[in-house]
Amino acid sequence: MRRKVLYIFKNFLKLFLIISLIFVLLFLVIQILDDLASFLKGEKIFIFKNYLYTCPLLFVQISPIITILSVMLVLSEMIKNSELRILFISGIKPLILFYIFLLCGFSSSILTFSVKNFVSPVLLKKINRILEVSVVFTSSNYFFHSEKVEGKKFINVEFTEYFEEGNFRTYKAEIAENYKNNNWIFKNGFLWEFDRMKNLVKKGKFDFINIEIPLTAEILTISNIDVETYSFFQLFKIIRDMKKIKLNPVSLKCYLHEKISYPLLNLFMVFVIYGFLKRSSKISNLYVFSFSFLFSFFIYFFYIFMFSLSKNARIPPFLGCWLIQIFLIIHFLVTKKMES
């Protein structure tokens, strides 16, 4: 049994790597050609390494297609060479082979999750910087405004903290920096304190002041940065910090689910092959390619549609990111019941 597992997994891995390389190179060339007009006009500067940095993200985006295509090709070759029939005659049940293919899909999901959450964010940060635009944050307890952000420094900052008693405190500073967790340094500014009747009770000037508030640079700049530059664990921390100040970031919750649900599409798409395992007729390569592409693109666009609905608070984040996986499991269970 171990030999059968290794044989199928080895063939899957070989096809998976070859198809991944072909697809990533193809989409990389398409990206470059798409920007070619901008290069010729001088609107953009051609930096090849920036395109290389996007390759892991390209791999993640097309990994469901690669996975189902690799699995279907392995299955097609086994049927063509009568290996599948021999295995069935020797007493191997289709469900056992299906579990082996699931192992292939699970390995693909683990790889995709790792690339999406550990490799791609690091590389994208090299080409995606914080936009030098104004930052405005408002909640029931805090107001924060900065004219622009340079690296980790917020320039020309106005910050107001409102207290339960009705009084509030306002800071204006040339520079503010979040140096650790909720700890901030404000430099070269003024401080005003008001009572609940908005009467000025204190005024001061400072060169350097330490402030501890439940706001982080990530919370303030999250809307100005590509979410793909954050890993699942970083997003989880940001959402947890936002909950402390009674914020409910629906779109970020959707991206948090997506960091796991999209890589797992690779595994759940393999569920569709169970119906093919009992077919005695040969599956042509044309059928393999056509089915794999049509099925994977349908799943991809439906996933994007549901994700968009959840990101815009039309449906719950969990449903928007996991409905496809639930449907594929139900399809497998129904197919298994009908054929048993």
Shared domain check, 36 and 20: yes
Cα(223)–Cα(217) distance, rounded to whole angstroms? Answer: 11
Which two tokens mark 77? 């070759």
Question: pLDDT per residue over 5-52, tens digit each?
Answer: 899 999 999 999 999 999 999 999 999 999 888 888 777 888 899 999
Kindly state whether residue 270 falls inside one of the protein's structural domains.
yes
Kindly state whether residue 237 falls inside one of the protein's structural domains.
no
CA neighbor of 200 nearest in space, from 213, 208, 191, 187? 191
User: Domain range spanning residue 206?
Assistant: 135-225
- Which residue among 205, 225, 245 closes a domain? 225
Shared domain check, 206 and 102: no
Shared domain check, 30 and 90: yes
**130 DSSP 8-state letter:** P
Shared domain check, 156 and 171: yes
Domain count, the chain: 2
Q: How many CB atoms lie within 10 A of CB 173?
A: 26
Shared domain check, 144 and 121: no
Question: pLDDT per residue over 302-315, tens digit each?
Answer: 999 999 999 988 99
Cα(299)–Cα(74) distance, rounded to whole angstroms? Answer: 21
Shared domain check, 159 and 73: no
Shared domain check, 284 and 322: yes
Question: pLDDT per residue over 137-194, tens digit each?
Answer: 988 899 999 999 887 799 999 999 999 899 999 999 999 999 888 999 999 999 999 9
Helix, strand and coil content of the chain, in percent to the nearest 5, comes to 60, 20, 20
Q: Residue 199 carries which side chain, given as an amino acid letter?
A: N
Shared domain check, 113 and 139: no
Residue 216: which pLDDT band, with cuts at 50, 70 and 90? Answer: very high
Shared domain check, 193 and 82: no
Shared domain check, 258 and 325: yes
